[in-house]
Structure 1
Amino acid sequence: MSALEVFGGGVAVITGAGAGIGAGLARHAHRLGMSLVLADVDAAAVALLRDEVIAAGGSAVDVVCDVRDPEAVAELAERTYRDIGPVRLLVNNAGVEQFGYLWDTPVSNWNRVMDINVSGVFHGVRAFLPKMLAEPSQSWVWNLSSIGGVAAVPLQAPYIISKHAVLALTECLRLEVQLAGHDDHVHVQAVLPGAVKSNIFEAAGGVDADSAGTAVSAAESQREAMLDIKAAAMDPVEAAEVVFEQAAEGAFYLLTQPEYVSTAMADRAQVLTTQVPPQLRTTQRFDPDKH
């Protein structure tokens, strides 16, 4: 079946919808005729996207929601089911980056990455999934991991760790939905984007201002390297189209650039199979999902 046949006419809830791949997923969901619930901490960004969708003849509401707050996410779910209807697609997408040596990472920055990238996904699952399980209609849960979820990358450890965690969470969740006997109508899928254009690098955290010069230099050097990758990154709407089609076909791992991301997955499998420690490669950097 096509993405239009599977998702058209349903309700999509997307966190981190204000920019990057979140906005791309929202724009393509609108093309498919979905009603959108656009959630983000950036009120202006989601309001602009809401107006864009409505001006194009679509249906959208914007909600300011911090996924770190479980009560806020629970209210998002309650409001959606009360005012709009059953959710066909939940996209737990909100995410942030962090650069620098792990030992130079401020505790507050570590907590920010984990609270948004990992706990934010958990809060979305906990708030929405029971309602989705209770509905007889088909529904989908997408959790945004990354190519970084199958790679080891220096100077981005908190982000990489968080995306490994989201991938494991999603794999476990799929098994639990199956174990509970709901996999006939609730479909759990992991999204692993490669390089997709966004402003996540510019907004990424770094090290403390009073850190040693070498620590600051390393963090900023990694930021610049990622910005170089961004220049040739995939358009978010194009990435979204690929993801929707793979999801409609029933894939579990949804890859924006299948060949590129699959290579990273194969490399990871080889490392685990041979048990060779990760090697520092100055000429190759895996680009984590930039959403």
Structure 2
Amino acid sequence: MSREEELFAGGVAVITGAGAGIGMGLARRCGEIGMTVIVTDIDAERARSVADAIVAAGGKAEALRLDVGDPAALDALAADVFARHGAVRLLVNNAGIETIGLTWEVPVARWEQTLRVNVNGVVHGVRAFVPHMLKAGAPAWIANLSSVGGFSQMPTQTAYIMSKHAIQSFSECLYLEMELAGAPIHVSSVIPGMLKTSIFDAAAGVGEPAAAARHRATMAHMMASYGMELDEGCRKIVAKIAAGEFWVDTQEEMTRDIVAGRVTFLQERGVPTLADQARALLQD
């Protein structure tokens, strides 16, 4: 029996944005190791499809529609899940969107949506669930989705990059708050590299400037060609959460190189620079 099965089997996992991408992969993995998976997504049909697949494979799951940009909806979700299941062993604040475009060209509505989902969705997910976890008194795990982008600079992906910097710092502070409170809740920052997901699909770019379509197509091609398989990445993520790691990355060498570059930038107090590969991507 694996470490994650020992810790998590029989427990409840709540995963936001689990109708596609990394959230879907994590939901499938949690189902495989014997958890009851609460599959939440703003798209109810996608959530049902993922939950149905978990059940068909012999697992336990239920689907709920959830807009993480609505703090009251997160409060209601936490109250409902704890009332019906008694406890939540694993909370994964995964829901997020990629937004592409020059800062001044991204419409207000798209900016607000990105920050509401990527930043506030994580903050209020924690705020809604932690009081219930503390009251339950049992060991629990919270995993917040950051990214290698949380240590990077990338023009035209500014909204996403900025949000992931925010989640990285939020998770670091939350880890210390749990320590300060003496809470039996472990916090992990999930730092995926390039995984094969649908985050750069054209359909996800509604509301972006027209010029974003070319960038999306290029990134989607790179992800399909060079990305890690989703299930492989999600197995690594769940295993590292179970191992109690704070830094939960999928491609360790990529994380190491990007963080090292960030450290050098801060130590030298340099000016932001664009790597040749990134410049080629933006100028093609």
TM-score, normalised to structure 2, is 0.93
1:278 equivalenced with 2:278 (yes/no): no
1:229 equivalenced with 2:222 (yes/no): yes
Moved more, 103-112 or 195-204: 195-204
- Give the counterpart of 1:220 among 210, 213, 216: 213
What SS does the corresponding residue of 1:242 show, helix, strand or coil? helix
Residues 100-128 of structure 1 deviation map (CA, whole Å, 9 limit, x = unaligned)? 11111111111010000000001101110
1:72 equivalenced with 2:73 (yes/no): yes
What SS does the corresponding residue of 1:33 show, helix, strand or coil? coil
> How many Å separate the matches in 2 of 1:117 and 1:60?
24
Partner of 1:212: none
Partner of 1:82: 83
Gaps of 5+ in 2: none
Q: In structure 2, what residue type is equivalent to 1:196?
A: L
What SS does the corresponding residue of 1:103 show, helix, strand or coil? coil
Residues 43-71 of structure 1 deviation map (CA, whole Å, 9 limit, x = unaligned)? 11111111111112211110001001111
1:260 equivalenced with 2:259 (yes/no): no
What SS does the corresponding residue of 1:27 show, helix, strand or coil? helix
Residues 158-215 of structure 1 deviation map (CA, whole Å, 9 limit, x = unaligned)? 0100010111111111111111121xx100110010111222212035544xxxxxxx
Partner of 2:104: 103
Residues 107-150 of structure 1 deviation map (CA, whole Å, 9 limit, x = unaligned)? 11110100000000011011101111222211000000111111
Q: Is the 8 A contact 1:25 1:236 kept in 2?
A: no
Percentage identity across aligned positions? Answer: 43
> How many Å separate the matches in 2 of 1:265 and 1:259?
10
> How many Å separate the matches in 2 of 1:260 and 1:3?
24
> How many Å separate the matches in 2 of 1:142 and 1:6?
15
Q: In structure 1, what residue type is equivalent to 2:159?
A: P
> How many Å separate the matches in 1 of 2:61 and 2:261?
41
> How many Å separate the matches in 1 of 2:274 and 2:213?
18
> How many Å separate the matches in 2 of 1:3 and 1:259?
23
TM-score, normalised to structure 1, is 0.91
What SS does the corresponding residue of 1:18 show, helix, strand or coil? coil
Q: Is the 8 A contact 2:205 2:213 kept in 1?
A: no
What SS does the corresponding residue of 1:283 show, helix, strand or coil? helix
Q: Is the 8 A contact 1:96 1:159 kept in 2?
A: yes
Partner of 2:58: 57
Q: In structure 2, what residue type is equivalent to 1:122?
A: V
How do 1:185-196 residues align onto structure 2 when only pairs under 5 Å count?
185-196=184-195
Partner of 2:26: 25
How do 1:173-252 residues align onto structure 2 when only pairs under 5 Å count?
173-182=174-183, 185-202=184-201, 203-205=204-206, 207-208=208-209, 216-217=210-211, 219-231=212-224, 232-252=226-246
1:35 equivalenced with 2:36 (yes/no): yes
> How many Å separate the matches in 2 of 1:155 and 1:11?
38
Partner of 2:3: 2
Task: State the superposition RMSD in angstroms.
Answer: 1.6
Deviation at 1:284, TM superposition (A): 4.2
> How many Å separate the matches in 2 of 1:28 and 1:144?
16
Partner of 1:16: 17
> How many Å separate the matches in 1 of 2:90 and 2:36?
10
> How many Å separate the matches in 2 of 1:240 and 1:11?
17
Structure with the higher helix share, 1 or 2: 2
Higher RCO (CA-CA < 8 Å; seq separation 6+)? 1
